[in-house]
Chain A
Amino acid sequence: MSGFLSGLVPLETADGFEAPGVHSFDVPPLFESVPWFDKYMLQAIISVILILGFWLIMARKNALVPSKGQYLGETAYFFIRNTIARDMIGHDFRRYLPLLIALFSFVLINNIFGVFPLSLLPTPSHVGWPYGLAILVWVIYNGVGIAKHGPFGYLKHTTLPSGVPAFMWPLIIPLEFVSNIIVRPITLSLRLFANMFAGHLLVLVFVLGGEYLLLHSESIINKTAGVVALIFSMAIFGLEIFVQSLQAFIFTVLTAQYISSAAAEEH
């Protein structure tokens, strides 16, 4: 078993246990000749196929009395539609519903890959994927605002909250600009990335450390600690499922919130 594991992650070097770190996320490419096609890319492609299949099957047959499968699809759809889109965006939410559903499904499936036994690697734990998603969201919510208010109107709308007295403008305008235009995409991507990264690191520490303590040490105390760590890693997996679903939800909610604040009317 240790031979199989060490093929995936470097378990042991000449001087004992090597703690998992940033290098644990540098997976080699699947084929030597295509350097960009690694495990993250494969998982993202599989997730797109799964999501397309799920929503196509769910949208194909619509009976008045729903079957079990249609009920599942409708529950997922109405969760995003009512809890996220309608509550956050308001009356004009239907235009943004496909974007929100696609974002939620993509982030959720790719996060769940972190605990799915055949993959065991969340795709957003490589920072490029959240960066891509955040750039997409950034372009969309700024585009929505510019289309609604015009370029200068949007700049005024997003940097100057109404009702601010004139002597506060030099303070408020740079703050709001940095907060709304620059920091938002950074925190949006870093939040998803760091949650997945830290969660996967936690799993690696418990599983690899437990395995090392159990199989590579002599003392009975170490072996007991290894067994306890391996059992406790199951609880960590449970925590990870919660965090992954929560992060998918929060990513979509914040996207809806940004679109809503960019498209809001003047009060």
Chain B
Amino acid sequence: MTPMEIVGSLGIVGYGLGAIGPGIGVGLIFASVIQGTARQPEARGAMMGTAWIGFAVTEALAIIGIALAFVFGGL
């Protein structure tokens, strides 16, 4: 007999694993922005502009992950 049966899609598990890296990356970006703002508050505007671009580029990995989770959701 099977002790426990889990049904569902492996794509969701894959997306969960794939979201770890971008999560850490986005956290690092904004941690650096907070540190930079604390050290030099007047440079906040310049740092935020770069931070949003870095955020968008890092987040793309998680975004591709969610797209692939739906693509391979049937597996």
A binds B: yes
* Residues of A that sit less than 8 Å from B by CB: 22, 83, 87, 187, 190-191, 193-195, 197-198, 246, 249-250, 253-254, 257
Please, how many angstroms separate the alpha-carbon atoms of A184 and B63 in the complex?
14
CB of B52 within 8 A of CB of A190, answer no
Out of B49, B53, B55, B60, name the residue touching A190 (CB < 8 Å): B60
* Dominant SS among interface residues on chain B: helix
Chain B interface (Cβ < 8 Å from any Cβ of A): 49, 52-53, 55-57, 59-60, 63-64, 66-67, 70
Residue pair B56, A254 in contact (C-beta under 8 Å): yes
Contact partners of A246 in chain B: CB under 8 A: 52
- A191-B63, A254-B53 known; 14 new pairs, CB 8 Å cut-off, are A187-B57, A187-B63, A187-B64, A190-B67, A191-B60, A194-B63, A194-B64, A195-B63, A246-B52, A249-B52, A250-B53, A250-B56, A253-B49, A254-B56
Q: Evaluate contact between A22 and B70: CB separation under 8 angstroms.
A: yes
Q: How many A-B residue pairs have CB under 8 A?
A: 36
22 contacts between A and B (CB under 8 A): A22-B70, A83-B49, A87-B49, A187-B57, A187-B63, A190-B60, A190-B64, A191-B56, A191-B59, A191-B60, A194-B64, A194-B66, A195-B63, A197-B66, A249-B52, A250-B52, A250-B53, A250-B55, A253-B49, A253-B52, A254-B53, A254-B56
Residue on B with the closest CB to A186? B64
Q: Name which residue of chain B comes closest to A194, CB basis.
A: B63
Contact between A190 and B63, CB atoms less than 8 A apart: yes
Smallest CB gap from B65: residue in A: A194
Give the one of B56, B57, B63 with max A CB within 10 A.
B56
Enumerate the 4 nearest inter-chain pairs by beta-carbon distance, A residue then B residue, closest first. Answer: A194-B63, A187-B60, A250-B56, A191-B63
Question: Closest CB-CB distance, B49 to chain A, in whole Å?
Answer: 6
Q: What's the minimum C-beta distance from B11 to chain A, rounded to whole angstroms?
A: 12
In the complex, what residues of B have CB within 8 A of residue A22's CB? 70
User: Among the listed A87, A198, A249, A257, which residue makes an inter-chain contact with B66, where contact means beta carbons less than 8 Å apart?
Assistant: A198
Residues of chain A lying within 8 A (CB to CB) of residue B70: 22
Q: Contacts of B66 on A, CB cut-off 8 Å?
A: 194, 197-198
How many whole Å from B26's CB to the nearest CB in chain A? 12
> Contacts of A254 on B, CB cut-off 8 Å?
53, 56
Query: How far, in angstroms, from A249 to B57 measured CA to CA in the complex?
Result: 14
Residue of A nearest to B61 (CB): A187
Contact A253 B53 (CB under 8 A): yes
The answer to whether A194 touches B49 (Cβ under 8 A) is no
Chain B residues whose C-beta falls within 8 Å of the C-beta of A197 in the assembled complex? 66
Give the distance to chain A from B57, nearest Cβ to Cβ, in Å.
8
Q: With the chains together, A83 CA to B48 CA distance in Å?
A: 11
CA distance A249 to B56 in the complex (A): 10
Q: Collect the chain A residues with CB atoms within 8 Å of residue B49's CB.
A: 83, 87, 253
Tell me the complex Cα distance, A198–B66, Å.
Answer: 8
Smallest beta-carbon distance B53→chain A, Å: 6
**Measured CA separation A125–B55 after assembly (Å):** 21
Chain A: minimal CB distance from B58 (Å)? 11
Nearest CB of chain A from residue B7's CB, rounded to whole Å:
13
Query: In the complex, which residues of chain A have a beta carbon less than 8 angstroms from the beta carbon of B63?
Result: 187, 190-191, 194-195
Docked Cα-Cα span, A75 to B60, in Å, equals 30
